[in-house]
Amino acid sequence: MKLAVVPGDGIGKEVIPVALAVLDAFGLDIEKVPLEIGYGKWERTGSALTDEDMSVIKECDCVLFGAITTPPDPNYKSVLMRLRKELDLYANIRPFAPLANVKLPCNKKVFDFVIVRENTEGMYSGIEELHENVAYTTRVISRKGSERIAENACSIAKKRKKHITVVHKANVLKSDSFFRDICTGVARRNGISYNEMLVDAMAYDLVLRPEKYDVLVTTNLFGDILSDVAAAISGGLGLCPSANIGNRHALFEPIHGSAPDIAGRGIANPIASILSVRMMLQWMGLETEAQVLGNAVDSVIQKGIVSPDMGGSYSTIEVGNAIAAKVINVP
Ligand code: ATP
């Protein structure tokens, strides 16, 4: 197994080495390929991600990715969007369930749902025009893109409650009634029950009644926004992992960005990145290791070894070391 490691910028440079140290504690046979990609590289060289970086990444099976700060250049094209497109990572999988002993902002303590977000088209199609007095972005919803994300959601639902919620804005957008009809058709074909939600109502209900939901499938921008709502009710961005899955490659990253406001202080919460490693272990079929890692994270949180965003006083490295020690000490 060959793993490209891209810490990126800001707190990505702090949390990814810690997550990697936790992975190393398992002693698995994984070849790591470190890559400098991002804002720092753009400042130095004028390019955040070169074609050569891209071919190195394509030779790897998967990527562990931190976060990239967006350079202040109107012509800059998002690195993450390019990676998702060129590696065809069409499914963005984001699980949300409160971890043991984590203080939540609302009184809902029990929920467990997954957001399955289409990751290569929609509002992030990259088809844009900027004129002097008007700007356009083309929202692309294709049959192929909608079918495969709906299939992905159904395959996740088959292992869970056999139900999906299709989230859209079909009352206003024709492209979304197209998306909705394809998703519901795929659900019927798979014997999966479904309901529909308008995205605005979904955002509202997710805060009030998250326990009602199991697998949500939606388009790119809606999934992006709903994920932050879901992260807030789950205890914060520092805790939430994600997987970008394609047929040949996969990329694992925390939901949060490069957090320039706290970068360089050694206080970033590494748990989102460590749980992204856990999703990577699951993708590799290493269920036992994934289980061990999940238990290690729970146990360290229960002991109160947490970073300031969770009310603790431990550093990024201290939290990571405590989790790695739990992994190493498993009998
Ligand atoms: P970017 O421009 O890279 O998206 P951002 O600051 O706009 O960065 P996030 O990085 O997602 O967006 O951060 C949003 C807020 O959440 C910030 O106040 C940040 O400090 C906080 N935050 C994000 N990730 C973490 C983390 N791992 N640990 C602690 N706080 C975090």
Which domains does the chain carry? 1-90+236-331 (3.40.718.10), 104-234 (3.40.718.10)
- Of 9, 13, 39, 169, which one is the catalytic site residue? 169
Residue 7 neighbours by CB distance under 10 Å: 27
Tell me, what's the pLDDT at 331? 59
Closest approach atom of ligand 1 to CA 9: 3
Decide if 112 is catalytic. no
Query: How close is the Cα of 260 to the center of ligand 1, in Å?
Result: 7
Cα–Cα separations (whole angstroms), residue 182 to 71, 113, 185, 288:
37, 22, 5, 36
Q: Does the beta carbon of 237 sit less than 6 angstroms from any atom of ligand 1?
A: yes
pLDDT of residue 104: 86
What is the C-alpha separation between 327 and 331, in angstroms, rounded? 9
Active site residue 224: yes
Task: Supply the residue whose CA is at minimum distance from atom 5 of ligand 1.
Answer: 259
State residue 330's pLDDT score.
67
Q: Which among 73, 76, 158, 200 is annotated as catalytic?
A: 200
Distance between CA 113 and CA 243 in Å, rounded? 15
C-alpha pair distances (Å), 296 with each of 232, 274, 323: 23, 10, 6
Show the low-confidence residues of the chain (pLDDT under 50).
Answer: none
Burial (0-12, 13-18, 19+ Cβ within 10 Å), 112: middle
> Of ligand 1's atoms, which has the minimum distance to the CA of residue 256?
11
Which residues are 254's β-sheet partners?
A: 241
Is 205 designated active site?
A: no
Rounded Cα distance between 239 and 141, Å, is 31
Q: CB-based contacts of 79: which residues, under 8 Å, 6+ apart?
A: 37, 38, 48, 49, 68
In ligand 1, the atom with minimum distance to the C-alpha of 257 is 10
Q: Which of 124, 194, 213, 314 is catalytic?
A: 124
Claim: this prediction has a pTM higher than 0.85: yes
pLDDT score recorded for residue 43:
87
CA atoms within 13 A on the CB side of 136: 6
Return the pLDDT at 250. Answer: 98
Atom of ligand 1 nearest to the CA of 308: 29
- How high is the pLDDT of residue 103? 82
Ligand 1 close to Cβ of residue 316 (< 6 A): no
